């Protein structure tokens, strides 16, 4: 199962030099909790260079009583080096990486490093829950068949 199949391809991006105020408004307008900071590769493709979340803004700006939200750039509060995944990587490898680096969101890139999507821990929980539900239905169906001696060829 490659992560590219499950990532969200509608990514809200911003340049690292946009203001915190602009970033917060983008998050509000697009109803997202993060922005992928990216540099343009060509007219239609971007390379991710960072990520900023609504939580980053609260902890780094609001909690520190910063008042000039136009002066501070989102790139200034980027918490760590960017962790990303190739779209061809296995879902479970990506989950391991997220756990190792203690991140809830990962930009997904193609073979050339261009942004193709983003995946969150919540997205992956949904995917895994769907597979677990399907598996539980299979077990339940097989138990019913054993009880009623239904055709095992189905």
Give the pLDDT confidence score for residue 151 in this predicted structure: 58
Domain assignments of the chain as residue spans, ordered by start: 3-120
**CA-based nearest residue to 61, from 79, 49, 48, 82:** 79
Give residue-wise pLDDT tens across range 67-111: 777 888 998 887 678 999 999 999 999 999 999 999 999 999 999
User: Looking only at Cα atoms, what is the longest distance across the chain?
Assistant: 72
Q: Which DSSP string do the residues of 73-137 spell out, in sequence order?
A: BGGGG--SS---EETTSBHHHHHHHHHHHT-SEEEEE-TTS-EEEEEEHHHHHHHHHHHHHHHHH
Contacts 24+ apart (CB under 8 A), 51-58: 51/78, 51/82, 51/105, 51/107, 52/14, 52/23, 52/77, 52/78, 53/105, 54/24, 54/27, 57/20, 57/23, 57/24
Give the pLDDT confidence score for residue 152 in this predicted structure: 53
Stretches where the chain sits below pLDDT 70 are 63-64, 79, 140-154
Give the pLDDT confidence score for residue 78 in this predicted structure: 78
Give the pLDDT confidence score for residue 131 in this predicted structure: 79
Give the pLDDT confidence score for residue 140 in this predicted structure: 67
| Among the four given CATH numbers 3.30.930.10, 3.10.580.10, 1.10.10.10, 3.40.50.720, the one describing domain 3-120 | 3.10.580.10
Spatial distance between the Cα atoms of 80 and 10, rounded to a whole number of angstroms? 23
Give the pLDDT confidence score for residue 81 in this predicted structure: 85
Give the pLDDT confidence score for residue 145 in this predicted structure: 65
């Amino acid at each position: 199962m490659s992560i590219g199949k499950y990532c969200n391809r509608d990514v809200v991006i911003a340049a690292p030099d946009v203001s915190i105020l602009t970033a917060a408004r983008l998050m509000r307008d697009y109803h997202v909790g993060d922005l992928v900071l990216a540099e343009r590769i060509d007219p239609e493709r971007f390379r991710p260079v960072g990520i900023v979340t609504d939580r980053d803004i609260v902890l780094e700006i609001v909690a520190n009583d910063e008042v000039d939200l136009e002066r501070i750039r989102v790139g200034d509060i980027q918490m760590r080096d960017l962790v990303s995944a190739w779209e061809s990587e296995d879902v479970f490898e990506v989950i391991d990486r997220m756990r190792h680096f203690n991140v809830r969101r990962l930009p997904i890139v193609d073979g050339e490093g261009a942004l193709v999507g983003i995946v969150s821990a919540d997205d992956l929980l949904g995917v895994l829950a769907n597979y677990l539900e399907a598996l539980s239905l299979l077990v339940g169906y097989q138990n019913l068949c054993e009880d009623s001696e239904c055709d095992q060829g189905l």
